[in-house]
Amino acid sequence: MTVTVELLDQPPPLSTGSWKDVVDINVPAPAGELRVTGLTAETDAEHLLPALSHAGPGTYRLRVHARGRDTDPAASENYDWDAVEEDVVDDYDDAEDQTDPADEFLIAVWPASHAPPVSHKLTGVYGAELRGASL
């Protein structure tokens, strides 16, 4: 899985390209600490994403792009994240034999006033399943 974060001062130009899902949402950060946490309970400093609230307390707009989730959804659902972090494998013969999830995300963040969510592109099958929608 790959996650890229872009900390911006203003909205970026919209570019949906090869992304399957692209949405804008607002997230309040009244204390000025807005973070994306890891997929497991224990996330070390090496794997932390930067604080999204780069301009201090306030409201932020997040444009979240996603792709690769339709490639092999079972890879994400069945991936033994603890085995990779701890080098302990419970359900697999070898952690290195697991298929890495192909999920890729881009999160663009900028300070903004409140605005309703906007769905720019919703073409991913896996995303539709999560939303309870059908394509």
Higher pLDDT, 117 or 129: 117
Q: Which structural domain range is residue 101 located in?
A: 2-131
Higher pLDDT, 92 or 28: 28
Q: What is the pLDDT of residues 11-63, one digit of tens each?
A: 999 999 999 999 999 999 999 989 887 655 555 665 678 899 999 999 999 99
- Percentage above 90 pLDDT, the chain: 49
Average pLDDT, stretch 126-132?
84
CA distance 135 to 129: 9
> What is the total residue count of the chain?
135
pLDDT of residue 132: 83
pTM of the model as a whole: 0.73
Local confidence band at 102 (pLDDT 50, 70, 90 cut-offs): confident
Domain total in the chain = 1
Contacts 24+ apart (CB under 8 A), 35-38: 36/3, 36/5, 36/107
Token pair listed for 74: 């079972």
Average pLDDT, stretch 91-119?
77
Local confidence band at 131 (pLDDT 50, 70, 90 cut-offs): confident
Q: What single string gives the DSSP state of each residue in 44-93?
A: -GGGPPPPS-TT-SEEEEEEEEEESTTT-HHHHHH--HHHHHHT--SSSS
